[in-house]
Amino acid sequence: MSKYLKDLITKDISKRLEGVEDLLLVDLAGLKANDTVILRKRLRDRENSINLMLVKKNLARRACEGTPLAPAFESIEGSAAIVWGGEDVIDLAKEVISLDGDADFEGFNAKGGVMDGEALTAARVKEISKWPNRTEQLSLLAGQILGPGRNLSAQIKGPGAKLASQVKSIADGDDE
């Protein structure tokens, strides 16, 4: 491959990854072409719109030099495909790990990636996939914020409701 062509591909990769802060690397070795097409559709059709790009490691390494994505390519061995997108890196990790164990995509394996400028191993990606995603974190936070107010209103309302029921029973003449 000529140097000019390598430069064009490197620029294309860096343009596609512009604004991307987190990505994962996967191995597609052993996956048939038709299975790869199905895999790409499955990732793209989700509401997360996850992208998959098969690249040469050296070209991807050159394209990511000086960016927060560079640590992902420092210790990668063998072939690699880049996966990015989704609502957040946790959703991305959950999807990658679910595909890693899928019998339809036996050649698909998580290899690592980068999150917040920190290189990830395959084991770390698996660990991150067990974290709550953004939506789950927001619902937990909302529950924690609303919980004390809900408890306070129940404590205020409880004695008043008891008193009102006693007054009603006296008014109805049920005190016999």
Q: Is the pLDDT of residue 15 over 90?
A: yes
Q: Which amino acid type is present at position 155?
A: Q
Q: Are 22 and 114 in contact (CB under 8 A)?
A: yes
pLDDT-based confidence at residue 147 (cuts at 50, 70, 90): confident
Q: Place 41 in a pLDDT band, splitting at 50, 70 and 90.
A: confident
- Residue 11: pLDDT over 90: yes
Whether the pLDDT of residue 175 is over 60: the answer is no
**d(C-alpha 159, C-alpha 153), whole Å:** 11
Of all residues in the chain, what percent carry a pLDDT higher than 90? Answer: 17
What percentage of the chain has pLDDT greater than the value 70?
97
Confidence label for 126 from pLDDT (cuts 50, 70 and 90): very high
What global pTM score does this model have? 0.73
DSSP result, 83-149: EEESSSHHHHHHHHHHHHT-GGGTT-EEEEEEETTEEEEHHHHHHHTTS--HHHHHHHHHHHHHHHH
pLDDT over 70 at 18, yes or no: yes
Identify the pLDDT of residue 46.
60
